[in-house]
A and B are shown apart, each in its own frame.
Chain A
Amino acid sequence: MQLAGNSSMDVSLRQNLDIVDKFIVDCEQRVKEQPQDELTREYLSGAYQQKAELISAMMDRGGSGN
């Protein structure tokens, strides 16, 4: 997901998407190693939800998927 704009808001959205993506990678790795770790699964599920909401907000601002 890319936003064409360089406004402070577009920058913030991109930075936060990066934070979510890195967090998801981290949690997925942990779940692979410890599939029974319910707490990490809970955080991972919340992160997917956050990512969906963030992408929706970015699309509202005129982003284009890639």
Chain B
Amino acid sequence: MSLKMIGRGILPVLGVGVLLLPSPPVQAAPQHFERHFAVKGRPVVILQNVANGRIEVKSSKNSEVVVVATQASNKIGVVAEQAEERIDVTATILDNSAPANELEANFTLTVPEETELQLKSQTGLVYVEQVMGDMTLQSVAGDIHLKEVSGYIVVRTTGGSLVCTQCAGKLNFNSISGNAQVLQPGLSSVTLFTMSGNILFDGEFIRTGIYTMKSGKGTVEVHFSGNDSFDLNAQTATGTVDNQAEALLRPDSHGVRHIASRFTKGLFGTVGSGLAKVELSSYSGTIRILKRD
């Protein structure tokens, strides 16, 4: 057999062998998206992130909305459009069969200080800092952290928790298993409901403010100061009320005689002049009322 013939016989076999060698996994290339939108007044920014990933919103003195997105792969499409003062951003999944780590898109928005927000996230953290304007924030499993924001704030989660630090205006939170922490607030209206999460309110009750906090199975804990002025109504169906501020609580001073239901446990009382209204309730969780040091 000639050398030429051996070559003819071996080379195709080698070629097939090379083709069959396991190839290293193809690394999805991260994608970068950045758009600048000039705005005149108070813009409305709408962001819907169907992919996984976090959304971070910060403010600046500039009259523009900057949208920056980092995508794990090209399996996610990001579209941003402007209609005068409305900026609409959407992240959609282009390939549902892609692995989860390729379906991640993280957003950073820089907006004017006065901006309205409508953000929808799936699993990542939503973080908003120093924005003034009404906002609706929705998440399934991601947490929502707000710092120094004001306006009418609506937060809806399935399992995500809320931490609201130095928030002002009005807050409405609704969740199934998420916790809610409201710290150092300047809120005149608070409505918190969670089915199994815990609630912590640590701050001042503004005079004329209305505060309603309900947890089905979790703990509702309120810390107030001796200078606060509010009427308190705390009721639980099968849980307990732990009032560690009994010395400050007096019978209702407004002449309304509250009669507790014989099916619930609870207390009514007034701290100071009873100017704000505080309603706490649980189905089976503990209600804890504490005076801050």
Contacts and interface: CB of A to CB of B under 8 A. Distances in A.
Nearest to A62: B96
A43 to B, nearest CB: 5
Given A9-B123, A13-B140, A38 B263 contact: yes
Contacts of A37: 237, 261, 263-264
A40 B140 contact: no
B235 interface: yes
B195 A47 contact: yes
Interface string A45-66: 0110010001001000000000
Interface in A3-17: 7-9, 12-13, 15-16
A12 B238 contact: no
Contacts of B237: 30, 37, 39-40, 43
Contacts of B217: 23
B74 interface: no
Contacts of A9: 52, 122-123, 140-141
B263 A8 contact: no
Contacts of B140: 9, 12-13, 57
Interface in B254-286: 261, 263-264, 281, 283-284
Contacts of B284: 26
Contacts of A54: 158, 176
Contact of A8 (B123, B177, B216, B261): B123
A23 B158 CA distance: 15
Contact of A23 (B159, B196, B214): B196
B176 A40 contact: no
Contacts of B20: none
B216 A23 contact: yes
Contacts of A40: 237, 263, 283
B13 to A, nearest CB: 42
B154 to A, nearest CB: 14
B70 to A, nearest CB: 19
A34 to B, nearest CB: 5
Interface of B: 52, 100, 122-123, 140-141, 158-159, 176-177, 193, 195-196, 214, 216-217, 235-238, 261, 263-264, 281, 283-284
5 contacts: A36-B261, A36-B263, A38-B261, A46-B193, A54-B176
Interface of A: 7-9, 12-13, 15-16, 19-20, 23, 26-27, 30, 34, 36-40, 43, 46-47, 50, 54, 57
A-B pairs, 5 with minimum CB distance: A37-B263, A12-B141, A16-B176, A43-B283, A40-B237
